[in-house]
Amino acid sequence: MPAPTAWQQKSKQKEISSPMDTAELAERTELTELGQQLRVDSVRASAAAGSGHPTSSMSAADLVAVLFANHLRYDFDRPAHPGNDRFVLSKGHASPLLYSAYKAAGAIDDEELLTFRKLGSRLEGHPTPQRLPWVETATGSLGQGLPVGVGIALAGKRLDRVGYRVWVLCGDSELAEGSVWEAAEHAGHEHLDNLTAIVDVNRLGQRGPTRHGHDLAAYARRFQAFGWHTVEIDGHDVDAVDRAYGEASSTKGQPTVILARTLKGKGVESVENREGLHGKPLPDADEAIEELGGIRDLRIRVHEPADARMLHSVPTGHLDLPRWEEGDPEEGVATRDAYGQALAALGTARGDVVVLDGEVSDSTRAEFFAKEHPDRFFECYIAEQQLVAAAVGLASRGWVPYASTFAAFLTRAHDFVRMAAVSGAGVNLVGSHAGVAIGQDGPSQMGLEDLAMFRAVHGSTVLYPCDANQTARLVTAMAGLDGVRYLRTSRGAGPVIYGPDEEFPVGGSKVLRSSGRDRLTIVAAGVTVHEALKAAEALDGEGIAVRVVDLYSVKPVDRATLRRAAVETGLLLTVEDHHEQGGLGDAVLDAFLDGRPVPRLVRLAVEAMPGSASPAEQLHAAGIDAESIAASARLLVEQAIVP
């Protein structure tokens, strides 16, 4: 093996006591030395990997050094300690800095630091809680750390009540993201004085200067407009950084943002404040390390958190779900109504259930929960990215969130859903007013892409109930699942076709009609289940027996039932109130992608762009009502017997 280079060597260990008396610090203080160490280690880690973002790490090194040494309260041996402060690296590409800080805190060693970005390493290019227990949420998709931090701060202020602080380190480039300002307004509205945003204003983005460069006042005006306390500092003056953190901790009634003017690549002349070096290891790591003063092995004793315990009880009780009898009431029950009632009942039985809504709780029926459990209800207004992000933040603190809005509007938050899956966050998302069945409101309000969107999310569960009792059972089941869970509800009332004691296991389905004479199988979910049953009844009167499967679990799908139906009837007809791509039909097709012969499969779905019309007219125009299903079945049966 080649001899190790200078940046791979370890130097003598030294310990810093924390907190330190800044008045007694010399020109080159221990905090400054720690900042230099974080720069050196960021350079070393990126050089070892041959990739990474050392210059973005170097600009924020002093900010992190002072935070970890003097202000963060955290027990690295007990990451679940309820009193721990929470640190979110929103600029996740600066992961070399985070890992270097972990090394200084003794959480990882130097050998592991140099495995950065290598196969099997915990130290990924962007940090995730799936790999490291000290990471609160996956970051790297910019503009997400502060919104999730708002959710964590909400948990601390309104639920956990143990006094921890939430520190979020942002980059200036990501302040161009609208989600940051959704978070800023929400934090100001909620008076989250336990939240501090630290903005590393290093002036340079990926391809060149940022919109506002080093104009700290421009950023300050925006945050002040949302009710934040602002502090503008030189981000390389450790005394100023230390004072700013102290000011943030003592500010009451407002969140605080520290706007720190920094230089990208600080400390190395060949890269400092220069364009074109984003996301690249330094050209000469050995020379850069020498210029930064060489390798150090300083250790910090991070403040221990207060001996905090939950100061409120999390009650549990008997789950008394609402019940409906088959056929009653005559006018039927909307699954959104069943969702709201079941959620309120679940909240009574489980004190860890919290609900968030996007200013449509009267439509999603989350208002039922809000009326019974107002202390665990969070109004997020028309800010769907913040809605999902807050749910992720609450889930990171052990709460079980249900977040609801119109199915169509959840598409705005898709990137947050995607990153929730990267985090391994357990969140329940509920989309109401799905499909053309909502009627006259027209296509802007119709969720017609949501099943595809959520099916594509890693490890997700996708559920689409058709009646009230089924909805209530699935709402309860969601609370015990892992990952991202999605429930699709409908606006209009539908018949109650299941008894209140029927079970609906996730991954299952229900065969509602079958016989030994079945000539095809109609597979439906949600509103089309009722249309399929009416079509099957009409066909039966003509001597055409068909099977009807309620595929309420769209993901995971009931492969066994579908395969059996394919063998026994020879033909599957899927019917969905959703676009053809990625929805129910594709979910059914997935059951046959194991190498066996694919059965004859015909899909009825929404293909044309809808307009405004009544629900019945919408279903008919889309070709997914009972009449259209029956017509398709007749044609398919005739084709099946033609030689």
Catalytic residues: 384
Which residues, 6+ apart, have CB-to-CB distance to 467 below 8 Å?
Answer: 324, 333, 335, 338, 494, 495, 496, 497, 498, 529
Q: 562: helix, coil or strand? A: helix
Write phi, then psi, for 69 (nearest 5 degrees).
Answer: -80, -35
Point out which residues pair with 513 in neighbouring strands: 548
Q: 524: helix, coil or strand? A: strand
Q: 572: helix, coil or strand? A: strand
Give the other-Cβ count within 10 Å of 21's Cβ: 7
Length of the chain: 643
Query: Is 245 buried (19+), middle (13-18) or exposed (0-12) by CB count in 10 A?
Result: buried
**CA 328 and chain centroid, separation:** 38
With DSSP H G I counted as helix, E B as strand and the rest as coil, what are the percentages for the chain, rounded to 5? 40, 15, 40
Which strands make up the sheet holding 377-379, listed edge to edge?
A: 377-379, 353-357, 400-406, 427-432, 484-488, 461-463, 553-555
Write phi, then psi, for 461 (nearest 5 degrees).
Answer: -120, 135
**CA 579 and chain centroid, separation:** 24
Encoded amino acid at 205, one letter: G
Encoded amino acid at 279, one letter: G
Which residues, 6+ apart, have CB-to-CB distance to 88 below 8 Å?
Answer: 136, 137, 139, 145, 146, 148, 149, 152, 166, 167, 168, 169
Point out which residues pair with 170 in neighbouring strands: 199
Q: CB–CB of 78/14 below 8 Å? A: no
Q: Please give the Cα distance from 117 to 184 (Å, whole number).
A: 32
24: its two tokens: 């007694």
Q: In 3D, which of 109, 137, 89, 90 has the Cα closest to residue 45? A: 109
**CA 618 and chain centroid, separation:** 33
367: its two tokens: 């208002």
Q: Please give the Cα distance from 401 to 378 (Å, whole number).
A: 10
169: its two tokens: 């380190």
Point out which residues pair with 400 in neighbouring strands: 353
Q: Please give the Cα distance from 545 to 553 (Å, whole number).
A: 24
288: its two tokens: 């850069």
Q: Please give the Cα distance from 486 to 431 (Å, whole number).
A: 8
Q: CB–CB of 521/591 below 8 Å? A: no
Q: What is the CA radius of gyration of the chain?
A: 28
Point out which residues pair with 204 in neighbouring strands: 209
